Structure 1
Amino acid sequence: MDEHERELLPSLRMEGCGPLHSAAGSGNVAVCKYLVEQLGFDVDSDADNHGSGITPLACAAAHGQVITVRYFLDKGANPNKEKSSGRTTPLHEAAEAGHDEIARLLLSKGASVDASSSYGTPLVAAGVRGKFSVMKILLENHADPNKVSWQFGTPLTSTLYGAPERMSKSTCLKCVKLLVEAGADVNCTNPETPLAIATYKGLTRCVEYLLEVSKNANVLVNHDKSSDKHSKAQLKSQGAKAVEGKNYSSASKFYTEAIKLDPADAVLYSNRSLCRLKCGEAHDALLDANACINLRPEWHKGYYRKGAALMLLAEYKEAPDAFLAGLKQDPGNKEMQEAFWEAVEEMRKEPSEPSLHEVD
């Protein structure tokens, strides 16, 4: 080819797909290297020149081409570039196809484990097809087992919807157990309860399992007054386990039930404030922080939670005061000191109010 013909190569389409995408999907690394390193092809180029967002990396991930995926990532390909249709990412492609090694590789390079699409997160994409090993990898990387998608609901309900058409009943049970053990809500109603879905899908063993775990979950909430103290400890422990697994939504629910049993426990409000902060519920987190301070004004943790909530609300003029109040209770707290100076720095960036003589 002459120079002009080579310049036209990136726009060439064969059956709607460019040369680099074809090479990526077939795993031809030598051709990929030539096109990228010799002819200057863009590693994040679209397949059809119409802004579809289907990158060579996504093609390689969908077809299980591990070496090609690694090559594109090493060349700086964006692991989170979305398709314009459906907004799926390369991780969605790997999860849907069950390519666990590629999923690990993408996550190690910064792929968003909870990237949303019109179909749901990568965990939903894997769950609805019973890709157990990929689901396990995603959960190990702190995927949210309760994030709702508009089409399939939660990962748990999507997994049940997938059987028996896309997976065997035994695989479905295995995936359901994995999700429940990771903190999936067995009583969710998005769009129906897992038990209802399992029943009309004829998943007998899943029905039996869900009935058992639902019964155990209800024991924590439907308690006798004589065992309130014991139940509160159970709920608090369950909340702590959920926090450890970064399942802050479920943890918040456990702490809410515990607060119903003992509304004078400042620690519960502090813990729930943390969970609400992690879920982006800044106003509710602030309310819990204030409740904690009212119950235990001498405890520094309530002031720290209040300052963090104010920072999330961009109330930079008030946040330093909250952290300073906490430092008065615990002067040597380094975390509080760092948070205070960070809040002060943000406050300094805020535009100052005009003085009276500046107003016309």
Structure 2
Amino acid sequence: MSAFRVLYLDDDAAIVRLVQKHLGRLGHEVVHADCTEDMLTHLNGGSFDAVVLDHYLRQTTGHEVLAQMREAGMHIPVVYVTGSNEAQIAIEAIKAGAADYVIKTVGDDFLSLLTSAIEQSIANAQLRAAKARADEEIRLAKERAEALLAEVNHRVANSLALVASLLRLQISSAKSDEVKAELAETQARITAIAGMHRSLYTSDDVSRVELDRYLNRLTAELYNSLHSAERPIRLLLEADAISISADKAVSVGMVVTELVTNGFKYAYAPGEAGDIRVILKAVSEDEALLRVEDDGIGIDPSSAPKGTGLGSRIVKSMAATLGDGLRYLEGTKGAVAEVPLRLTNGS
């Protein structure tokens, strides 16, 4: 072990001189302090690798000195020295923060045991310091990675928002109602993905999405884009606080976008008022249930999809990645679509 510097607090100068000679032959330095004030002066004015602390001092005890050191924020390793019949005192010192203890004897064993205890205490302190530095480096690296990922999500969300804006311009210039409708659906899909990325860069955890907050923003955006005098429909959300991975949040957003869009288009007759409800409920710690329902004309799952059928294919594909896939409940008023969600990444 490389040379170390030790501060020895003991009012018995003879014992300290023996330790100084023994450790000096090994290349180490021992500085003597005969009182607490002297010890604190040395510690504040110099660099030491360890403190050797005797229990019995003139006007105090080693326990009281240990307490003073901890109150002063001194975390240097301490080797406690006490008499052969006072093991309980040494144990109390360990509980108070000493790194090790040695029983004082008149033989040579004391010097070798003390040397070993000092070396081991210093080595352990160095290992703890190295671990603390490594932990801090890991923490800083994690913070940098999360900041970078948040910035990436921010830029992706902005880019997708720009694409959605360009689609709005294209919609306004399109002459065909059918083309306008298809472009509006595409815009809604892009907006759903952009909203997920926006959730990530505004969240403390850039790997998971708070699904209830994400759906709250998504349904508001869908309502603003789909609601009109011809479609006086309310869009309602009831969502438990559920966290889900980012990739699954994309699928949930796409499923909700498609089902809500279909509800606005087909659930009610033109001009007819009604509700579309998006419900997210926790079933267990690892499972949740997403439901989109209305009180309209209902749906026949076996019938051919209306329009191009792209929305139906998207819903089935995305729902399959979330759990057991999409199912429509029978015997209900209106259409009730359910999608079970596995919240973990397991099978």
Same fold, judged at TM 0.5 (above):
no
Structure 1 or 2: more strand by fraction: 2
Higher relative contact order (CA 8 A, sep 6+): 2
Q: In which range does the TM-score fall when normalised by the shorter chain?
A: under 0.3
The TM-score normalised by the length of structure 2 is 0.21
Structure 1 or 2: more helix by fraction: 1
